[in-house]
Amino acid sequence: MADLSTARQQQVVATSPVLRQLPPASRFVLRGGPQALVAAVGALGLPRSDSPCRAVRNDGRAALWLGPDERLLLGTADAAGETESLLQRALAGMPHSLVEISHAQGAFELRGARAATILNTGCPLDLDSAAFPVDMCTRTVFAKAQIVLWRTGAETFRVETARSFAPYVTKILALAACEAMS
Amino acid sequence: MLLIDCPYCGARPELEFVYGGQAHVARPRNPAECSDEQWADFLYWRDNSRGVHAERWRHTHGCGQFFNALRDTTNDHFLATYRVGEAAPALERVARPRT
Ligand SMILES: [Zn+2]
């Protein structure tokens, strides 16, 4: 019988090669028309892409497609100020909404051959690499929480969730990881 | 689980979506000119189709977009989904459910 105790779950998050908390990051949600989205992504040195549910990345920054008029812009924690000024300059005069949510969300990484299986305990998407390839990203649900899921590698996923949901999401992920690893 | 074809994201599980009521209900251009009956008709009266129904859905836990769908209310089969602003596809051209 697998050890599914809280202590074991905490140990999984603390030491697991499967599930780990990612360091703080800078996060911005940008909403606007195609012109604003192209200008913003260009100003951050990211390749242009309109593909639905796809992320583009370069040099520690990433832009995740969340909707036809919405991007989640990620960067390192120390890049928040720089990102804000780059974006404000690039978007001047264009209708848009730019909201910093660096501290509103937390991120976890799941890795390993069982990562998709573990995620599927709470997420109903088809996570086979044919249906959900590397750099596919989307807003979706995990159990009762809303998450942003990004496949960053063949066996690596980044899970972004509201800070208030983080303990809930981690507990279920850790429980699933305990079971998958046992 | 029922899969719904978001016109932006593709086939997604039902629980990512929220139902948005009957589609193609046009708000009167000048409400002040409406009679009470016309306004009540716009606000409250909806079709209650047995069979194909045009309705709004929102991909709330996804791309966040509203879109329209044709759904058969007798068997929950989604015949077609299409973007807001597009006309409903002709029924002969959408897939019919297996009976
Ligand atoms: Zn969608």
Name the residue among A68, A70, A141 with its Cβ closest to that of B16.
A141
Tens digits of per-residue pLDDT, A110-129?
999 999 999 999 999 999 99
Q: How far apart are the first and last CA of chain A?
A: 8
CA distance A140 to A123: 8
Taking alpha carbons only, the member of A171, A176, A177 closest to residue A6 is A171
- Confirm or reject contact between B85 and chain A (CB < 8 A): no
- Confirm or reject contact between B58 and chain A (CB < 8 A): no
A3 domain-assigned: no
Q: Which two tokens stand for residue A154?
A: 């063949």
CA distance B59 to A67: 10
What ipTM does the predicted assembly reach? Answer: 0.89
How far is the alpha carbon of B15 from chain A, nearest alpha carbon, in Å? 8
Query: For residue A125, which residues of chain B lie inside 8 Å, CB to CB?
Result: 12-13
Name the residue among B8, B9, B15 with its Cβ closest to that of A124.
B15
Contact predicate B30/B18, CB 8 Å: no
Higher pLDDT, B91 or A95: A95
Mean pLDDT (chain A) is 93
What φ, ψ does residue A89 adopt, rounded to 5°?
A: -70, -45
Q: What integer pLDDT is reported at residue A177 of this predicted model?
A: 87
- Confirm or reject contact between A67 and chain B (CB < 8 A): yes
A148 domain-assigned: yes
Please count the structural domains in chain A.
Answer: 1
A8 domain-assigned: no
Contact predicate B96/B88, CB 8 Å: no
Question: What is the pLDDT averaged over residues A50-56?
Answer: 96
Name the residue among B1, B8, B15 with its Cβ closest to that of A52.
B8
CA distance B22 to B74: 16
| Enclosing domain of residue A154 | 14-181
Tens digits of per-residue pLDDT, A137-174?
999 999 999 999 999 999 999 999 999 999 999 999 98
Q: What integer pLDDT is reported at residue B91 of this predicted model?
A: 77
A6 domain-assigned: no
Question: What is the pLDDT averaged over residues B46-52?
Answer: 93
A9 domain-assigned: no
Q: What integer pLDDT is reported at residue A15 of this predicted model?
A: 67
Q: What chain A residue is nearest to B64 in terms of C-alpha separation?
A: A67
* Residue A85 burial (CB count, 10 A): 10
Q: Which two tokens stand for residue A56?
A: 């583009």
Q: What integer pLDDT is reported at residue B90 of this predicted model?
A: 87
CATH 3.40.50.620 fits B3-93, yes or no: no
Name the pLDDT band for B96 (thresholds 50, 70, 90): low
Beta-carbon separation of B65 and A125 below 8 A:
no
Find the CATH number of the domain harbouring A46: 3.30.1360.120
Domain boundaries, chain B: 3-93
Q: What integer pLDDT is reported at residue A12 of this predicted model?
A: 65
> What is the rounded radius of gyration, in angstroms, for the C-alpha atoms of chain A?
17
